Amino acid sequence: MLRLNISFNSFNVFNYFYIKNNQMNNSNQLPWKTEEEFYDLHAANVFKKDTFYHVNMIGKNEEENAKYLIGLLNLKPTDKVVDLGCGSGFLTNKISEICECIGISTSKECIKLAKKNYPNNTFEVGNMENYHAKNVTHFTCLEAIGYSNIEKTLKNAYDSLKDGGIFFIKDTTLISHPSSEEKENIDYWEYYWKYYTYDVPTMISSAYKHGFKLIYFREISQDSRLNMKPFMESLKDNLVIQNYPHPDISVQIPTEFIFQKKKREKWRNPYI
């Protein structure tokens, strides 16, 4: 797996670790305890209209990224898509131009914002671990599966999909053998964002256990990964860097998986 060397200037290192360590010693200092509360508090800043920062796939803007994903999934007018962790609703809206698409989020404020941004689309407050729908051909989940119990989410998606249905997951996966400084950076995501990051073998083996087959995998390059920096800069402004410090860049690598539901078959995982 690609290994990345992360560097911070000395002031940011001191600021980040000093404040983080003090806050982690007293969990009551954070005004949110769950990811729902985090996004309820910050939906207006984190998810502005037409913000699609999660993708960072190949395009230079949101339109290109959405077009890439729609093409990758080969969506057709007869398809039915559920967008798990829909955020601002941008991707849900773009997919809805092709076929039926429902946007789901645990955050009431995110759903309120998505409905305001795209009033002609369908958005629902729901949990990906237990959300059920009939005749689903595709699930999409872009950097949101780490908020859930991955086993429950995969089982639920498998049960909800038609035979041959697709579960597209775009998430960040851990780099190999992180240094002590990089491990601290990983702790930041779990503490502030309440987000758990999986490694590639865990993601694949969990999917295979529930009956999926991996049909596509792509680990995005370092250059694409660096596109997250403008988003991190935005968060520094929106979440007040003095109180909630953010590292300049994450230590995880954006990775794409496409899993397919196979009827009455358990597939051997070639990666383990």
The single-letter code of the amino acid at 20 is K
For residues 205-217, give the mean pLDDT.
90
Beta strands in the chain (DSSP E): 80-84, 100-105, 122-125, 136-142, 161-174, 212-219, 252-261
Q: What percent of the chain is modeled with pLDDT above 70?
A: 52
List the structure tokens of 219. Answer: 């680990």
- How many residues are listed for the chain in this entry? 272
Residue position matching structure tokens 């109180």? 243
For the chain, what is the mean pLDDT?
Answer: 71
CA distance 54 to 89: 12
Q: pTM of the predicted model, to two decimals?
A: 0.71
Comparing 64 with 137, which gets the higher pLDDT?
137
Alpha-carbon torsion 69, 77, 162, 84, what sign?
positive
Please state, in angstroms and rounded to a whole number, the distance separating the CA atoms of residues 15 and 57. 31
pLDDT greater than 50 at residue 159? yes
Q: Structure tokens of 152? A: 């429950």
- Annotate 21-39 with DSSP letters as a single string: HHHHT-GGGSS-SSHHHHH
Q: Residues 192, 194, 195, 196: what is their CA dihedral angle, to the nearest 10 degrees?
A: 110
**pLDDT greater at residue 210 or residue 236:** 210
pLDDT at 233: 54
Q: Mind listing the pLDDT tens digit for each residue in 26-85?
A: 444 565 666 666 666 666 665 654 444 444 444 456 777 788 889 999 999 999 999 998
Write down the pLDDT at residue 226: 41
Helices 200-209 and 150-160: crossing angle, nearest 10°?
40
Cβ contact 171:198 at 8 Å: yes
Of residues 234 and 86, more confidence is placed in 86
pLDDT at 123 over 90: yes
Neighbours of 226 (CB within 10 A): 12
How far is residue 139's CA from residue 79's CA, in Å, rounded to a whole number? 11
Rounded distance between C-alpha atoms, residue 133 and residue 152, angstroms? 15
Asked whether the predicted pLDDT for residue 22 surpasses 90, the reply is no
The tokens describing 135, both together, are 């005749």
Domains detected in the chain: 10-100+125-153+175-261 (3.40.50)
* Most confident listed range (1-10, 68-77, 227-236): 68-77
The 10s digit of each residue's pLDDT in 179-201 is 666 666 666 666 665 666 777 88
Per DSSP, 8 falls in state: -
Q: Are strands 212-219 and 252-261 parallel, antiparallel or unpaired?
A: antiparallel
